[in-house]
Structure 1
Amino acid sequence: MRVDRLWTTGGYLWRNGEGALIRSAHRSVDAVTSRRAVWVKSRGGDGAPSLAYAGLPEGIHLTLPFLEQRRGAAAETVRISSRHRWDRLSAEMAGSDTDLVVTGYDTRRARQLPQARSLTLPFRVSLVVALGDGTDVLQRVSRKDRQQFARQQRSSRWTLEVADSDADFAYFYDRMHMPTMRARHGDSARSEGRATAHAEIYRKGALFFLRQSGERVVGALCRVQPAGRTLVLRLVGVADGDLAHYHGGTYTALFLYVLQWAARNGMARVDLGGCEPFISKGTFQFKRKLHPEVVLPANHFRHKRLHFTVVNDTEPVRRFLVENPVIALDAQNRLTAVYFNDSRRSGRTRLPWRTAGMASAVNLDLDTFLHPDAAATLLSRHDASAATTPACQ
């Protein structure tokens, strides 16, 4: 294997590889390279809360942009970066004028983080559809969605294309995937590089296009993991980045076609990919319609967590919390939906949480959670009779 190809393969596996060996190597490297926690403050503005991300560096590109987006367009995002000792993070938070601090950390550093006004979240979650039960994949969605799919399949003349040429890959990457990333995420857009996507996903997987009346409108690039008979959706895109293709059932149709293809071709499961641990995340709400199981990632994020800490109790902070329910880990390390509410605001429970892998849902009263004695109050409820109470760390 050529050195450049070896480097490409090694880099991909380092970022995305599964298994205990790679996870253990990540933990060892993180312990050395992250002796001092990053601290990136994102100023708020116009009634929006200020944010900070601390800890492991990957959260700067994965977690902070999502929080900034959810904070609202009115906020003027100005980032200020520094580094602090891990054992000083609690003091830095207490002395900061930042409203919300999210800390990415390896589970071995949990003791160095504050307890008050805090929840423990997974760093990311993965959504995986099992195909081994012989059930028609269309039965996984609601009857309303099945009926809509059947109607549009006839009227839109949808067909699934499984592409197999380098020209097809170039069309997908240059005309679909990258324009879509720019349209959806702007300057925060991140993806696999072109060479890596070609060598490590396309050459080791399958490329799908959904055609509508003969025209390619949506595409998905997947990698096949032979050991677990898993099809992993890695990159997606719509024609020329036109986000209108996300509506009208076309995007959902591609996922249903891919699930059908995977079932016909002996796959045991389809990994729909990961997302941030927030019920308000659009990706979570869309993919949960396919009835996946929500699990901790199989890669190096499996042993990483987000410490979600409220520093200042303000109206913008409370509004942000109510609008963005989270996926937390409870005292038994189970995934739990947490909806915030207070005397003036009802929890955003219209955002559904029910799917396999989620243990339960909790309505968390902010007047209690943000009280000076909140940590002791919540921790005292972590017994067998209140097993769904979210864990404080």
Structure 2
Amino acid sequence: MTPATAAWERARFAWAGSGNRVLATARHLSDTATAGRDGWQLFQAGPLRIGYGGYRAGQRHVLPFLRERARAAGLATGGLTTEPAGRSLPDADLVALGCPPGRAAALPSAAAIVAPFRVHLVLPLAEAGRPRPVVVSRKERQRFARERVRRGWELEVTRSGADLDYFHQRMHLPTMASRHGDDARSVGLRAAHDAILARGVLFFVTENGERRAGMLCRLDGTGRVLTLRLAGVLDGAPEHYRSGIFMATYLLIARWAADRGVERLDLSGTEPFLSKGILQFKRKLHPRVELPPDHFAHKRLWLGVRRDTPAVRDLLTANPVLTLASSGRIEAVYFHDARRAPRTDLRWEGLGLGAARHVDLDGFLAGLPTAGGPR
């Protein structure tokens, strides 16, 4: 690979997610200028009609999440259809729009909520210049200690290009395919070499000497922030999740980073919903939910309900949302009504959030047209 090609890959990677303030602002302005050109993307989920519009990034993040959550609710999802973009909202029961904060504030506030477009989960490894221990439950600590001895888990650290090829083909790609199917998205191998490994490190966790899990991480320019970029388990096999080795990988990397003066371990980004499985998994590490360090920090997700139906209420109740309060703090919102209890099993504690609010759907949806029988 030529130096020019490597430089191009690094530039592309930086444009996609740099924490540089100037570059992040430029990327956000560019995204805003092209937002909506693809029109509204709509799909049917049982009796529900759901639409997404705005930032193209939402077609890789928000739209697949909404389809997955509809399927999790037992609704058969149809294919996508496209309607021309415009200032008016599409004919749908639930509409999601990726837009800048000003546009979100100008949209109807009744039966609507504004969330960060994405959030990051960040694990502080030092505070006020002092090391901060990684906090996990006693149950997780005991399991980790027991299984580490029984299974012989050890951390392997490498910067070898050949090791990255192995990790990408045998761990990362199979894991993404098994977990996300057709919605899988990732960084290509060339970018992984030139933009991540060139400024980072590859970790494997071995079990009795055999590589079973891995993570590719990138250090920022200061060496104080380590960001987890790509992850996977051998062949994407589910037994490696059941064994606890995936959680062990996070714990071992956190210890390695803290021992080398890294102050923050960025566990990467996610959609702003407590029902996101990886968010609930990482919550066990007690990270802090923050706005992303890149252009996504400038973006918002407006969620508006157009019709009050039982299916809409089911979907809102099943997926508590992380929202931005007027104070700027991120908080959790749990929907409920007389028939539907708030999903407090999807916990918000341990995420450094400002608060949790419980919102009654009868008041939230008051005044909307109704359909579909008893609420």
Measure the CA separation in 2 of the matches of 1:307 and 1:66.
15
Mapped pair 1:278 → 2:273: yes
Q: Name the structure 2 match of 1:348.
A: 343
Report the TM-score, using the length of structure 2 for normalisation: 0.93
1:354-393 matched pairs, under 5 angstroms: 354-372=349-367
Please give the TM-score of this superposition, normalised by the length of structure 1. Answer: 0.88
Query: Aligned partners of 1:296, 1:35: CA distance in 2, in Å?
Result: 23
| C-alpha separation in 2, matches of 1:74 and 1:191 | 27
Paired amino acid for 1:288: R
* Alignment counterpart, residue 107 of structure 1, candidates 86, 94, 101: 101
**Residue of structure 1 in register with 2:300 after alignment:** 305
Per-residue deviation, 1:31: 3.8
Match in the other structure for 2:60: 61
Aligned residues: 364
What code does the residue aligned with 1:4 have? T
Q: Is the 8 A contact 2:157 2:201 kept in 1?
A: yes
Aligned equivalent of 1:81 = 82
Aligned to 1:388: none
Which of these residues, 162, 170, 175, is aligned with residue 170 of structure 2? 175
* Amino acid of the structure 2 residue aligned with 1:325: P
TM-align CA RMSD: 1.8
Does residue 205 (structure 1) correspond to residue 204 (structure 2)? The answer is no
Shift of 1:36: 4.5
Distance of 2:23 and 2:200 partners within structure 1: 21
Query: How do 1:1-393 and structure 2 match up within 5 A?
Result: 2-34=3-35, 36=37, 38-45=39-46, 47=47, 49-72=48-71, 74-85=75-86, 88-89=87-88, 92-93=89-90, 96=91, 98-133=92-127, 134-135=130-131, 137-138=133-134, 140-227=135-222, 229-372=224-367
4+ residue segments displaced more than 6 Å: none
- Per-residue deviation at 1:114? 2.2
Counterpart residue identity of residue 102, structure 2: R
Is the 2:124–2:132 Cα contact (8 Å) retained in structure 1? Answer: no
Structure 2: segments with no counterpart, 5+ residues: 369-375
Shift of 1:198: 1.0
Q: Are 2:44 and 2:78, in contact at CA under 8 Å, matched by a contact in 1?
A: yes
Q: Distance in 1 between matches of 2:188 and 2:80?
A: 26
- Paired letter, 2:77: E
CA distance in 1, matches of 2:166, 2:137: 33
The answer (yes or no) to whether the contact 1:137–1:256 under 8 Å persists in 2 is no
Quick one: distance in 2 between partners of 1:340 and 1:209?
A: 41
CA distance in 2, matches of 1:163, 1:37: 42
State how far apart, in whole Å, the 1-side matches of 2:367 and 2:38 are.
Answer: 26
Mapped contact 1:38–1:57 kept (Cα < 8 A): no
2:373 match: none
Runs of at least 5 residues in structure 1 that lack an aligned partner in the other structure: 374-393
Q: How far apart are residue 276 of structure 1 and its match? A: 0.4
Secondary structure (helix, strand or coil) at the match of 1:162 reads strand
